[in-house]
Structure 1
């Protein structure tokens, strides 16, 4: 019996999430069902992909994640279960949701869900709630040990897996560059794709100052100079800082303020960020 962790863009204003929980415990009422988040912005596959990568390594090997951010529900996109190099299972539409997991941890196997056997009974004519009828049901059966991974369905070649465009972080011309992958949502900090180790190749020490530049869709939209600090408390209230976030990647914040809201900045592959030492 493995944990089952649910994620979606459904929100909590109606019964959709409760229905997924109900299907899961209907498979086996001993299952431990948990929520990652159900506040992914509607249809935002990039955000769903990132939030999976944010938490997966903290769950025990064998944990089954169900992620439903599915603007193509009812189309010909595949329903799959991925097995990560860390030994976790991800039940999801194959629409790019696996992008960050593949880039950071690695996907070692992919199987298409056989909907003839792995589908909630009586749902065959329902085409708009696969999160309940296919993903929660299949995830629960896998987590409960009713099926093993091979019984999910046929193998899919990894090169067929759908991925969103991702630019690898790089050190070039005395600066590190990457993307703004996500926000620390409640506080508005910018979480970048730039690993701490790459940033330290600039010779950075706490207390040094750096220039942060942001481009959106190829156009410069923001530039600021700030200190590299251990934590928010190292700077004055309202002051900006560069720091290492909980995923060991570089982040930008305002102490007790929202950097994203202050400068109208967003996330995703079109939002590029660079960091270089100040003159």
Structure 2
């Protein structure tokens, strides 16, 4: 019995790309258990791909193999790698920043360059635009099935040379919490920050207290308002804003039964800053 193989991409499900990846994995080993993390990453959004791995990876057994393909540089000289995490999971991906959040929060302990002379779908050498199928799904399936071990992926790389996206740690200054918007809770439009529950506790904020939330994009204020700190959405009336603790133990900003992100046109990444102050 092999290890789980979990697929993530920005391909969507409107064509056969994801099915082709699953097909390649099944051809490697029909007994593999193959799962989808998500294929709804916005096109070319490496930052979100990086975050979704962090959001998910800790809930899978050790030795699970993740294949993450958000690859605007496909066909260039960007590296194709397999990384081993400190939690003993494996991630097969282009080295383009996709490992940023996992490296920061969990740690990457080893990384190997995929040797495409042996770890590439047979008879696919003339194709340079679908590495998700020809290299990543194939290598990930072989690793998950135990047909190769980590050492057989390819030569060892310097983890210090890992490509990282710009990021920022949350911090407190002058009784104001400073953070960034890490990701959106896409379906419901809630805004997830990198400010932790413990950091909010440093403000001595209790459930029911009011806080002032300011969101800036670059230097422009796009939102500023007082709102309640609630245990759940039921702490407010429909249409009212609140902050709450999300499933990753960080602060999130929301509107009860509406999309905060859509209403205020909120984005993600280091250019989107959030500030929280006790009222």
Q: Same fold by TM (over 0.5)?
A: yes
- Alignment partner of 1:58: what SS? coil
Unaligned stretches of 5+ residues in structure 1: none
Partner in structure 1 of residue 230 of structure 2:
229
- How far did 1:104 drift? 1.2
Hey, what's the Cα distance between the residues in 1 that align with 2:253 and 2:114? 40
- How far did 1:55 drift? 0.5
Partner in structure 2 of residue 4 of structure 1:
5
User: Structure 1 stretches (4+) deviating beyond 3 angstroms?
Assistant: none
Partner in structure 2 of residue 86 of structure 1:
87
TM alignment of 1:63-82, pairs within 5 A: 63-82=64-83
Partner in structure 2 of residue 151 of structure 1:
152
Partner in structure 2 of residue 218 of structure 1:
219
- How far did 1:217 drift? 1.5
- Alignment partner of 2:243: what SS? strand
Residue 254 of structure 1 pairs with residue 246 of structure 2? no
Hey, what's the Cα distance between the residues in 2 that align with 1:199 and 1:147? 46
- Alignment partner of 2:214: what SS? strand
- How far did 1:42 drift? 0.4
Hey, what's the Cα distance between the residues in 1 that align with 2:156 and 2:222? 44
- Alignment partner of 2:42: what SS? coil
Unaligned stretches of 5+ residues in structure 2: none
Partner in structure 2 of residue 110 of structure 1:
111
Hey, what's the Cα distance between the residues in 1 that align with 2:245 and 2:264? 20
Hey, what's the Cα distance between the residues in 2 that align with 1:138 and 1:250? 37
TM-score norm. by structure 2 comes to 0.98
- How far did 1:230 drift? 0.3
- How far did 1:81 drift? 0.5
Partner in structure 1 of residue 163 of structure 2:
162
- How far did 1:218 drift? 2.3
Hey, what's the Cα distance between the residues in 1 that align with 2:77 and 2:219? 33
Partner in structure 1 of residue 48 of structure 2:
47
TM alignment of 1:30-45, pairs within 5 A: 30-45=31-46
Over the aligned positions, Cα root-mean-square deviation in angstroms equals 0.7
- Alignment partner of 1:230: what SS? coil
- Alignment partner of 2:166: what SS? coil
- How far did 1:263 drift? 1.2
Hey, what's the Cα distance between the residues in 2 that align with 1:149 and 1:211? 49
